[in-house]
A and B are shown apart, each in its own frame.
Chain A
Amino acid sequence: MSVSQLLIGAVSLAAIAGLAVVPSLVDAYHLALGITLLQFTILATAWGLFSGPTRYVSLATTAFFGVGAYTVAVLGEQLPWPLVLTVAAVIGSVTSAIVGLSTLRLSGVHFVIFTFGLAELVKQLVVWFEVNKSRVLGRYIFLDITQQDIYWQLLALAVIVFAVGWLIARSRLGFALRIIGEDETVARHCGINVTFAKVALFVISAVFMTLVGAIMAPRWTYIEPSIAFNATISFEVVIMALLGGAHRVWGPALGAIPLTLLFEFLSARFPNTSTLIMGVVFLLIVYALPSGVVGLIEKIRQFRRGSAAQGSGT
């Protein structure tokens, strides 16, 4: 292990410890803001886990987020909390495996179209089930979980998602996915089981999204399908991950933090025009920063390295 690696490890440990004591230092408003920041950081990073290397644009974040939240609404009072989270994760992985197996064989565009409507589809099925079978639309969640608990759970999940992302990037699976992203035909000729690799990563990414939904659910106390399956979340997550740059594990977080703050500010100041401004931000990113902040940083680094002596690329 080199010195720089040790340094990075020490800094990130210190950062985690620092973030863990935040709830005891700040007031309720800032705690809520911290929760939102963590929520979007995890969602964007999880999105980047799958969509970064494969370049499949997934708009299904809301679907999994909502599945997690709804699992808590249904089972929250019947089972102990860790078990509820486990069930949510299982349901999320089964749903995403079904979706992945049926759509990831198709070309990228078909996948986008399918995920575009997936949240709406799951929402309609939940509404249909609630209206016709269980005969309740809208449920209350009364759980003994404080804002601090939510914050700490999200922080733990954030650490896990980064660790998993780091491990995947160094594994055979991550390498296979990068090849698929470059050229799927080549990947198939190299003997990579393309469908398995894509579905596996899609499921991993979806489990994190489901867990975020489940952890966030106690915050609402009242939940109904239109709250749990709020389509804006999918869109926001895509913008954030793109701003950061989805081809690095830590890229999406770089986009999630400034944009969460921006949206928070905008929805407080200009509630009516926030959709419009979101669109403008989106276009600015697509036209001006096609490979995100990370891409920009890498370009600057390369430029500097180019003027110095030639070194081996990392």
Chain B
Amino acid sequence: MTNAVLTGLVLGGMYALIAMGLTLQYGVARIMNLAYGEFLIGSAFASYFLFTGWAVNPLVGLIVIVPVSFVVSFLLYKIFLTPLVRRARTRDALEVDSILATFGLMFIVQGILLTMFGGAYFSYSFLAIPVTVVGEVLAMNRLVAFALAVVLGTVLYLLLTRTRIGTSIRAVAVDPASAPLVAINVPQLSALAFAAGGALVASAGVLISMFLTFSATSGVVFTMKALIVVVMGGIGNLMGCLVAGMLLGLSEALVATYIDPGLTIAVNFALFLGVLLVRPAGIFGRGGR
């Protein structure tokens, strides 16, 4: 029981971290990024490459990979997605367009990864030391990943609630039409939020690569889970991400331990539908659309 709960907490922390990046991209920049998981896998491969090729510690690798992804995501938004934002007349139109565009992007990133690495599964052994926590044995790398996820989540929360730029980002999330009236540069902040989301997912990718096996095609699963967590928690809401992510991780771990490991996706969907039928705007969402 304790073991299942601990596994669930670690997993849930990861889901929450992944979802926080997506909620920035979707809640603020209004880009429904279906290529999101591909960026996670991309940085997992980058970390693998650094570790096996140059023996770079993944935690050090973070310092390289995260800023690079920030810049890549920023450019992606500026060059590639801005035309769609300009073309869209309504928010719904932008949603559909961004779904389709990032869908194509998903194939491109996946295709590049496939040609580089093939369809095989990859993993590396880093900090695979057993540690005893409340009477249960866990791998060190999972604990480190969890701790870093907590740190990153807290930093993001403080940035968004305690700084001026964070406040303006939240203002864009709440009402993009009125934000310019108080001298907020919406396009610039949207690009920034999209890039921050890219940086977050890259850090999640590095952390996950330390303890999970991954392949060029496993990004879709992460996209799906991130989307489920974001929608369940309420779009654009960090606390929602945390609660929904934990809920998802715990229920997955419990079902895998006590019922059947082959039913995790069914659990995801049951939770997703259950929450949405009771609260269509998500656990922490406000108002109905």
Task: Give A residues with C-beta under 8 Å from B.
Answer: 55, 57, 102-103, 105-110, 112-114, 116-117, 120-121, 124-125, 127-128, 131-132, 231, 235, 238, 242, 272-283, 286-287, 290
CB–CB B108/A283 < 8 A: yes
- Bound together, the chains give a CA A283 to CA B104 distance in angstroms of 5
- Bound together, the chains give a CA A109 to CA B262 distance in angstroms of 27
Q: Which of B83, B107, B231, B266 contacts A282 (CB 8 A)?
A: B107
Give residues 82-120 of B contacting A (CB, 8 Å): 83, 87, 92, 95-97, 99-101, 103-112, 114-115
Q: A109-B95, A132-B260, A235-B103 are in contact. Are A124 and B108 (CB under 8 A)?
A: no
- Bound together, the chains give a CA A182 to CA B251 distance in angstroms of 39
Q: A57-B99, A117-B269, A276-B107 are in contact. Are A128 and B263 (CB under 8 A)?
A: yes
CB–CB A273/B260 < 8 A: no
Q: What's the least CB distance linking A92 to chain B, in Å?
A: 19
Measured between beta carbons, the chain B residues less than 8 angstroms from A277 are: 111
CB–CB A114/B272 < 8 A: yes
Q: Which of A107, A109, A121, A280 contacts B265 (CB 8 A)?
A: A121
What are 28 A-to-B residue pairs whose CB atoms are below 8 Å?
A57-B96, A103-B273, A105-B280, A110-B276, A112-B32, A112-B99, A113-B272, A117-B224, A121-B265, A121-B266, A121-B269, A124-B264, A128-B260, A128-B266, A131-B262, A132-B260, A235-B107, A238-B100, A273-B115, A276-B112, A276-B114, A276-B115, A279-B106, A279-B110, A281-B104, A282-B104, A286-B100, A287-B101
- Bound together, the chains give a CA A102 to CA B275 distance in angstroms of 12
Give residues 255-274 of B contacting A (CB, 8 Å): 260, 262-266, 268-269, 272-273
Closest residue of chain A to B35, judged by CB? A279
Q: Is B278 an interface residue (CB 8 A)?
A: no
Task: Give B residues with C-beta under 8 Å from A.
Answer: 32, 34, 83, 87, 92, 95-97, 99-101, 103-112, 114-115, 220-221, 223-224, 227-228, 231, 260, 262-266, 268-269, 272-273, 276-277, 280, 289
Q: What's the least CB distance linking A102 to chain B, in Å?
A: 6
CB–CB B108/A287 < 8 A: no
Closest residue of chain B to A106, judged by CB? B276
Measured between beta carbons, the chain A residues less than 8 angstroms from B280 are: 105-107
- Bound together, the chains give a CA A290 to CA B87 distance in angstroms of 10
Q: What's the least CB distance linking B5 to chain A, in Å?
A: 23
CB–CB A242/B100 < 8 A: yes
Measured between beta carbons, the chain B residues less than 8 angstroms from A272 are: 114-115
CB–CB B103/A273 < 8 A: no
- Bound together, the chains give a CA A280 to CA B112 distance in angstroms of 11
CB–CB A279/B228 < 8 A: no
CB–CB A280/B32 < 8 A: no
- Bound together, the chains give a CA A125 to CA B259 distance in angstroms of 13
CB–CB B105/A279 < 8 A: yes
CB–CB A283/B99 < 8 A: no
CB–CB B231/A110 < 8 A: yes
Q: A102-B277, A124-B265 are in contact. Are A280 and B108 (CB under 8 A)?
A: yes
Q: Which of A105, A108, A116, A231 contacts B92 (CB 8 A)?
A: A108
14 other A-B residue contacts (CB within 8 Å) besides A57-B96, A57-B100: A102-B277, A103-B273, A109-B32, A116-B224, A117-B269, A121-B266, A128-B260, A128-B266, A276-B112, A277-B111, A278-B111, A279-B110, A280-B104, A282-B103
- Bound together, the chains give a CA A106 to CA B223 distance in angstroms of 20
CB–CB A279/B95 < 8 A: no
- Bound together, the chains give a CA A282 to CA B127 distance in angstroms of 41
Measured between beta carbons, the chain A residues less than 8 angstroms from B105 are: 279, 283
Measured between beta carbons, the chain B residues less than 8 angstroms from A274 are: 111
Closest residue of chain B to A275, judged by CB? B111
Closest residue of chain B to A274, judged by CB? B111
Q: What's the least CB distance linking B112 to chain A, in Å?
A: 6
